[in-house]
Amino acid sequence: MADCTYTVPDPEATGDALYGPRICYQPFINWAWPTHGFNNSWWQDGWGYDDVCNIRKPLARCLNAVWLLTYSADDYQNDDWGTDALHWGGRYVREQLKYYDDLRADCGDGGAVATTTGCQWSRQWNEWRCTAGYEETKRECRTWHWLFSWICHLYAEVKNFVCTLWGWVAVGACTLWYGTVGGGQNVTLSLLFFYPTGTVGGGAVGGGNRDVIARAGTLIHEARHIGDKPHNGNFPAGSIYGAGGGGADSDWNYAGAWMYEVLYLWWFYAAGTRTSIAMRQSAKQEANVILTNAFSTSPGFLVP
Amino acid sequence: MWGVVAIAGLGTILAAVLMTLRRRTTVGEVASYRADVGPELARYIEVVNSVNDQRDAAYVRAVEALRGSTDDVLSDATRLLSDKSDAPFALRHSTLLALGAMRDPATLDILSDVALNPQPLPPRETGSRLGPIAQGHGAEALEASTILALDALDGVEALADDGNAAALETLAEAAVVDSNAVRAVALAALAAKADRSPHLERAMAEMPEELRHLAQLRRVSVEDVPQVEDPRVHLAGEERGGANAPDIDDGAPRPGGTTAPEHGAPPIRGG
């Protein structure tokens, strides 16, 4: 008996029937495998390594999302960073996943659809919090009288030095841990990334939207977490994710994982090609759900 | 004495390794879900999931066919979208798109029911399994049902645009539904036309203070929202680059190319 089981929904309605024939191309698989850091040993035992074109199995369903991320811009060869999220989204996911080089599949616990495990939490100390804290203190120093402001500026420099030093210690210890006994830094896609319903440990799980564009959005979201940005806010009043609980982005300008996900979904809805009306409509609605539920301070706009 | 310390140290490291090793899990298919619907709805579902333009001839024909068999479509839709249905999200999504595309007042009851009652999709016990860490990443069932409610709301708004008074009334009711997304989209729809202002004012009067900001949300173009100026500054490390994706011809792989797996990639069975 398998550790977890799944029910395959209608492959046309999830978009898998549209993308399935496209991924079944050895040059694409040969390219996607190393560039996204797929870990061979985590895709065996029913996860699809031995049947890569079978869209009923998890691996093909993941590759469908990778294909969408790669080819949905009309001029897909242009993934320049100066373009829009539809163009650079796939490149960003590749760069981030390649950094960990360990994309796994696992049953999960029936809760999260994906988890990012690694040193992103310690890296954000010196690459985000120290810089932000330093600039905030410097701003405050400018409000002090010039006779005393030098004390404030000195304090800002010392604080930044200690913070950065702590960041490096934390990163070093964390990297050592994951590089030895910690099991490696990785992104793990759970059963609920691939399927809307199934069982884990004998209990029924799911009920979500797991079409191809939703999977692509999850990859963008997790990639942003690798990029040193944890959630930094509480969900707003009335949020379906749990009002007042942690896990939101403070606002749109924080440029966190929710913002990246919405931005990609929005561009995909507005300009996505080689896809379907149903996929684009799904992207639009999901973007609006996130915009109204996942930011502590409302971004102030909706997808029309 | 040092021998004992060394053995204890090694034992501790070994125990830590064993504790942190994660067992690979196995997975298997137990069932599949196939929609049992009439030919017109089945054809629409196939087309809306394969074409990307509502002006596509196949899409136009599929919508005309839906309009020609309203009773059958409504019967299938009622069954698939009911509380007791075990139809998964994607099928419900396509069915709601079908109802919206018909622009027929006969669809309003079903659309209103979905728009005004976003309920988690089955299995509904999912929430009880969520721990605090899963918050925000684990509310999948609620998220899916809200997306469906928004699909339905689009259909209702289209009917209101056609001058259907009952649809306009439904929009006003949706503006006070206990769902941020449904509320916000309904309020934006009411704010979109000046002659809807009495409905908007009525909805605003019933809005809790802490949710009033939802009435300020505006529908804008994606080009008009702040973008990520340079995603490179948000990379975890140095950019690694790598080979470009294989070229394609309008969605289809180009003929030729290697048939042998490389870089540890899985082989195509029979390839």
Closest Cβ–Cβ partner in B97, B129, B242 for A205:
B129
- What residue of B is the nearest CA neighbor of A31? B245
A143 close to B (CB below 8 A): no
Please list, in sequence order, all residues whose beta carbon lies within 8 angstroms of the beta carbon of residue A150, skipping any fewer than 6 positions away. none
Interface of B with A in 84-143 (CB under 8 A): 88-91, 93-94, 97, 120-126, 129-143
- What residue of A is the nearest CA neighbor of B147? A285
Closest Cβ–Cβ partner in B20, B122, B125 for A181:
B20
Burial per residue of A219-233, b for 16 or more beta-carbon CB atoms within 10 angstroms, e otherwise:
bbbbbbbbbbbbbbb
Calpha distance B170→B190 (Å, rounded): 11
Interface of A with B in 3-22 (CB under 8 A): 3-10, 12-15, 17-18, 21-22
CA distances from B37 to A12, B42, B75 (A): 14, 6, 9
pTM to 2 decimal places: 0.89
How open is the CA angle A199-A202-A206, to the nearest 5 degrees? 25
Please list, in sequence order, all residues whose beta carbon lies within 8 angstroms of the beta carbon of residue B3, skipping any fewer than 6 positions away. none
A277 contacts B59 by C-beta, under 8 angstroms: yes
**pLDDT tens per residue, chain A (304 residues)?**
899 999 999 999 999 999 999 999 999 999 999 999 999 999 999 999 999 999 999 999 999 999 999 999 999 999 999 999 999 999 999 999 998 889 999 999 888 899 988 887 676 665 666 777 788 888 889 888 888 889 999 998 998 888 888 888 888 888 888 877 777 889 999 999 999 999 998 888 888 889 999 999 999 999 999 877 889 999 999 999 999 999 999 999 999 999 999 999 999 999 999 999 999 999 999 999 999 999 999 999 999 9
Closest Cβ–Cβ partner in A85, A203, A208 for B144:
A208
To the nearest whole Å, the CA of A160 is away from the closest chain B CA by: 20
Neighbours of B85 (CB within 10 A): 14
A282 contacts A265 by C-beta, under 8 angstroms: no
Q: What would the two tokens of residue A138 be?
A: 């410097």
Query: Is this complex's ipTM strictly greater than 0.85?
Result: yes
List beta partners, residue B253: B248
Please list, in sequence order, all residues whose beta carbon lies within 8 angstroms of the beta carbon of residue A59, skipping any fewer than 6 positions away. A43, A47, A48, A49, A51, A52, A105, B266
Distance of alpha carbon B106 from its chain centroid, rounded?
Answer: 25
From chain B, pick out residues whose CB is under 8 angstroms from the CB of A197: 88, 122-123
Burial per residue of B32-43, b for 16 or more beta-carbon CB atoms within 10 angstroms, e otherwise:
ebebebbebbbb
Please indicate whether, in this complex, the C-beta atoms of A9 and B91 are within 8 angstroms of each other. Answer: yes
Please indicate whether, in this complex, the C-beta atoms of A10 and B139 are within 8 angstroms of each other. Answer: no
